[in-house]
C-alpha cells in the first residue's frame, strides 16, 4: 500500500538535527488534499485515489471540471493526480493531510524539472569539449555524425531542448513535518522550480536488509560499532613472534 499527498515547492533552507548537524532541506507546502474520486478494480480496473489541491478560479475551470469537483463537494483544483494502491479507507470528499507522513520515513518526490531552453551537448549532456588553443578550431561542437549511411540515427546525443521533463527523486528522507502550517521538510533537493507542483509518495525502493540493518522505530538513531582491525592485527603479529622465539 502507498501513501501520497500533493503539494507545492516553496524553496530550500537549512535545519539542525538533534546531534547539531546542519542539513539542507526542501520546504513543500501541502494543503489538505481533497479526494475527488475513489477508483476501484470493479469499476475502473485498478485501485487508486484521485487527489486535488489548490483551488482553481471558477472562470478558469470548464464544465466537466466543475461537475467532477462538485461530486466531492469541492471547488475545481489546479493540481490533480492519482495515488495508486493508496493506503487508508478514504471516501469521496475526504481530506488527506500532511501528517500522513512522519519524520524518518523515505519518500519519492515527482515534479517537472526547470526549463533551460535550447542548449548545447556540453551543458545538456555533459560531453567533453575540444582543445581551446593551438588552432584546434574545435571547441564546443557536437562532433562528426559519421562518413557513411548518410543519416543521423535515432538516439544520437545532440543539442536540443533541456529541462521541462517529468522526473522522480527516489529515497528522500523526511526531515520533519509541520501539521499546523501544512509543511513537510524533505532532505536534499527535489525536481522543479519554486512554486511548482510536486507529488510525494512512499518510496518504491527501500533499503535492502543485506546492506543496512535498522533497529527500533522509524527515525530512531541506530549506532553501528566497528571492529578495531589495527589492534587485532597487532595481537596476531605478537602471537607469531612469540611462537617463533619459542621454537
Distances (CA, A) of 2 to 67, 188, 191: 28, 22, 21
Q: Are residues 147 and 241 in the same domain?
A: no
Q: Are residues 226 and 154 in the same domain?
A: no
- Residue 172 burial (C-beta neighbours within 10 Å; 0-12, 13-18, 19+): buried
Q: Are residues 65 and 174 in the same domain?
A: yes
Which residue, of 128, 162, 196, is where some domain finishes?
162
pLDDT attached to residue 218 = 39
The CATH number covering residue 173 comes to 2.40.30.10
Number of structural domains the chain divides into: 2
Q: Are residues 128 and 185 in the same domain?
A: no
Which residue, of 162, 196, 229, is where some domain finishes?
162
State how far the Cα of 83 lies from the Cα of 75, in Å rounded to an integer: 20
Q: Are residues 91 and 186 in the same domain?
A: yes
Q: Are residues 128 and 111 in the same domain?
A: no
Work out the end-to-end distance of the chain between its first and last CA atoms, rounded to an integer number of angstroms.
68
Q: Are residues 155 and 208 in the same domain?
A: no
pLDDT attached to residue 244 = 58
Q: Are residues 241 and 224 in the same domain?
A: yes
* DSSP H or E segment with residue 67: helix 63-70
Cβ atoms within 10 Å of 221's Cβ, excluding its own: 10
The residues pairing with 141 across neighbouring beta strands, listed in sequence order, are none
Q: Are residues 122 and 111 in the same domain?
A: no
| Of 1 and 195, the one with more pLDDT | 195
State how far the Cα of 176 lies from the Cα of 229, in Å rounded to an integer: 38
Q: Are residues 64 and 82 in the same domain?
A: yes
Q: Are residues 157 and 169 in the same domain?
A: no
State how far the Cα of 11 lies from the Cα of 32, in Å rounded to an integer: 19
Q: Are residues 111 and 124 in the same domain?
A: no
For residue 166, name the pLDDT band (cuts at 50, 70, 90): very high
Q: What confidence tens digit (pLDDT) does each residue in 171-222 have?
A: 999 999 999 999 999 999 999 999 999 999 999 987 653 332 333 333 443 3
Which residue, of 101, 135, 162, is where some domain finishes?
162
Catalogue the E-assigned strands of the chain: 4-16, 22-29, 33-39, 48-55, 77-84, 95-96, 106-112, 117-119, 160-162, 166-178, 183-187, 197-202
Domain that holds residue 156: 116-162
Cβ atoms within 10 Å of 180's Cβ, excluding its own: 7
Q: What confidence tens digit (pLDDT) does each residue in 93-151 have?
A: 999 999 999 998 999 999 999 999 999 999 999 999 999 999 998 899 888 888 888 88
For residue 45, name the pLDDT band (cuts at 50, 70, 90): very high
Q: What confidence tens digit (pLDDT) does each residue in 215-247 have?
A: 333 344 333 333 444 555 555 666 666 665 655
192-195: which pairs have CB atoms within 8 A and are 24 or more residues apart?
A: 192/9, 192/111, 192/112, 192/113, 192/114, 193/9, 193/114, 194/9, 194/10, 194/11, 195/8, 195/9, 195/10
Query: Which residues, at least 6 apart from 119, have a Cβ–Cβ distance to it below 8 Å?
Result: 159, 160, 161, 162
Amino acid at each position: 500500500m502507498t501513501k501520497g499527498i500533493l503539494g507545492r515547492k516553496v524553496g530550500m533552507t537549512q535545519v539542525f538535527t538533534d546531534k547539531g548537524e546542519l542539513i539542507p532541506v526542501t520546504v513543500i507546502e501541502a494543503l489538505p488534499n481533497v479526494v475527488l474520486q475513489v477508483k476501484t478494480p470493479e469499476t475502473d480496473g485498478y485501485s487508486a485515489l484521485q487527489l486535488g489541491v489548490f483551488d482553481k478560479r471558477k472562470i478558469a475551470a470548464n464544465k466537466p471540471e466543475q461537475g467532477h469537483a462538485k461530486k466531492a463537494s469541492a471547488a475545481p483544483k489546479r493540481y490533480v493526480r492519482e495515488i495508486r494502491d493508496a493506503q487508508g479507507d478514504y471516501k469521496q470528499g475526504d481530506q488527506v493531510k500532511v501528517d500522513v507522513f512522519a519524520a524518518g520515513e523515505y519518500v519519492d518526490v515527482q515534479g517537472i524539472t526547470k526549463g533551460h531552453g535550447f542548449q548545447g551537448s556540453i551543458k545538456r549532456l555533459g560531453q567533453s569539449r575540444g582543445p581551446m588553443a593551438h588552432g584546434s578550431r574545435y571547441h564546443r561542437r557536437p562532433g562528426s555524425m559519421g562518413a557513411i549511411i548518410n543519416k543521423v540515427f535515432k538516439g544520437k546525443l545532440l543539442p536540443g531542448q533541456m529541462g521541462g521533463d517529468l522526473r522522480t527523486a527516489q529515497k528522500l528522507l523526511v526531515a520533519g513535518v509541520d501539521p499546523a502550517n501544512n509543511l513537510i521538510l524533505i532532505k536534499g533537493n527535489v525536481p522543479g522550480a519554486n512554486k511548482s507542483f510536486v507529488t510525494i509518495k512512499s518510496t518504491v525502493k527501500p533499503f535492502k536488509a543485506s546492506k543496512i540493518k535498522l533497529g527500533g522505530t522509524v527515525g530512531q538513531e541506530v549506532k553501528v560499532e566497528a571492529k578495531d582491525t589495527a589492534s587485532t592485527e597487532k595481537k596476531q603479529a605478537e602471537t607469531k613472534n612469540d611462537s617463533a622465539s619459542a621454537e
